[in-house]
Amino acid sequence: MKHIYLIRHCKAAGQEPGAQLTAEGHAEAELLANFLTEKQIDYIASSPYDRAISTIQPLAQKHKLKINVDDRLRERVLSACELDNWMERLKETFEDLDIALPGGESSREAMNRGVSAIEELLVRTERNVVVVTHGNLMSLILKYYDDQYGFDEWRGLTNPDVYEIVVDKDGVKPNINRIWK
């Protein structure tokens, strides 16, 4: 069995790539490290964004694990333009995966990017893998494996949040469970 722990970063001070964790976010990162300790993590992959790396830093330090940065785990860009109705437009992109707003990625493009990172991890020898990413991309990865995930599930995510994806040795459809409370 392979376990992928798909994690949304802890609370951050903004959305830009360099946004740092808040004081609450740093405290959550410590709680997350303690929560994951029993999972015997043997590999970490992370978005290059500061808030993602800082989310998993306490676990990496505690277990002397390298954080492997993967650009494919960065957050999806909905649009390069400011959108007054961004929430409505985001919902549309969950309903039609091929909508691409000006300067942005379609849901399908972002999903395929994120899933390509997950698929590479599934063939690695490590059995317990942490993947730190962002809410929109996380929802799209989950949707790829189980179509029930969508806009409402994205809205229900917390910072942090953790989903466990369990895949048997035959690579049959994974079992997905939210394990962060």
Domains of the chain: 2-127+136-178 (3.40.50.1240)
- pLDDT tens readout for residues 44-80: 999 999 999 999 999 999 999 999 999 999 999 999 9
Report CA Rg, the chain.
Answer: 16
* Model pLDDT, residue 26: 98
Query: pTM surpassing 0.85?
Result: yes
Q: Which helix (H) or strand (E) holds 37?
A: helix 23-37
* Average pLDDT, integer, range 138-167: 95
Strands (E), 28-159: 43-46, 67-69, 128-133
Q: What is the DSSP letter of 7?
A: E
Report how far residue 95's alpha carbon sits from residue 115's, in angstroms, rounded to the nearest whole number: 19
Q: Does residue 23 register a pLDDT over 70?
A: yes
The dihedral built from the CA positions of residue 172, 135, 132 and 24, taken in this order, carries a sign that is negative
* Model pLDDT, residue 1: 86
Both tokens of 104, joined, read 């942005």
* Average pLDDT, integer, range 135-145: 96
* Average pLDDT, integer, range 25-38: 97
Tell me if 80 sits within 8 A of 49, measured CB to CB.
no
Q: How much is the mean pLDDT over the chain?
A: 94
Both tokens of 81, joined, read 């333009």
* Average pLDDT, integer, range 166-174: 76
* Model pLDDT, residue 107: 97
The phi, psi pair for 53, rounded to 5°, reads -60, -45
* Model pLDDT, residue 39: 95
